[in-house]
Structure 1
Amino acid sequence: YLKSEYQGCERTKGMQVLNLGREFKMKSMKETEAIKGYTNRLLGIANRVKLLGKDFPHERVVQKILVTVPEKYESKTSALEESKYLSTITLGELINALQ
């Protein structure tokens, strides 16, 4: 019951998914924020989208993190990119690599 009450009608669900997608796109990591905190914010959005019945692959979260981390992580992200490991890296592995 709670799930159906939270989701509402299909149109409402669609609007919620669009708004969550927009929120996800606009997120960026704060200079003083820890990787874990930033990841948790992104995963919170991803989980809300999934709760609404839409797919939200973790690869999308991985890509978002790689593109939006502050400059202080550049050497770590560059090393990951050069290792050609990015196509198979999991979210957990990325978090561990950046911490």
Structure 2
Amino acid sequence: MASSGFSLAPLHVFNGEGFNIWAVKTRTYLQAFDLREVVNSDAEPAPLRANPTVAQIRHHTDERTKRHKAMSCIQNCVTDVIFMRIMACETPKEAWDKLKEEFQGTERTRQQQLLNLRRDFENLKMKEKEIVKQYSDRIMAVVNSLRLIGEQFSEARIVEKVMFTLPKRYEAKISSLEDSRDLTTISLTE
């Protein structure tokens, strides 16, 4: 990793708030070190065969130590208060699942959050004194919250929402866009 000139920023420390954002950052961090799969599964590496080569021994050792590295990453990116909740966990998957259950909530809770955010998205309308940038920022805040929970949102759906909820004073611009562009391929920034 050092030879590529790429260095990772320090991990964001989770203090009990903003679990979804912390989880995305931590997953990416673990992926950068090829440790994400270790957190997804509790599987032990297969035992060495008889008369293994040096390369096979090295590979097996690397695979075994990945669990400890992943656990270290998880433990070191939480506050001491949160650490106390996961310190008895034996595997990185167990620690991750415990954090997820406690701070992301049950499936029912997540479904309720999704319903509320979808309703918020559908009810968004541009205010008369608001500029398009402010309105699109409000829309993206809701969309990003939905995405953090796992909802898929296409750019076309977001653009459609903006186009249909702009005030009448933008009708000429909307008509011009509809005539000159394919609205299914236009981005929100455009």
Taking structure 2 as the reference length, the TM-score comes to 0.46
The aligned residue for residue 52 of structure 1 is: 149
Report percent identity of matched pairs: 43
Query: Compared with structure 1, are the counterparts of its residues 85 and 18 closer, same or farther at alpha carbon in structure 2 (3 Å cutoff)?
Result: same
Once the 2 structures are TM-superposed, how far is the Cα of residue 56 of structure 1 from its aligned partner? 1.6
Q: Which residue number corresponds to residue 173 of structure 2?
A: 76
Whole-angstrom distance in 1 between the partners of 2:180 and 2:134: 26
RMSD between superposed Cα atoms in Å: 1.4
Change (3 A) 1:83 1:23: same
* Partner Cα separation in structure 2 for residue 23 and residue 12 of structure 1: 17
5+ residue gaps, structure 2, are 1-13, 21-99
**Structure whose CA Rg is larger:** 2
For residues 22-76 of structure 1, give each alpha carbon's deviation from its aligned partner in whole angstroms, at most 9, with x where no partner exists.
Answer: 1111110011101010001000000001111121222211001000001111100
Match of 1:66 among 160, 163, 176: 163
SS in 2 for 1:92: coil
For 2:109, the equivalent position in structure 1 comes to 12
TM-score by length of 1: 0.86
User: 1:6 Cα deviation (Å)?
Assistant: 4.3
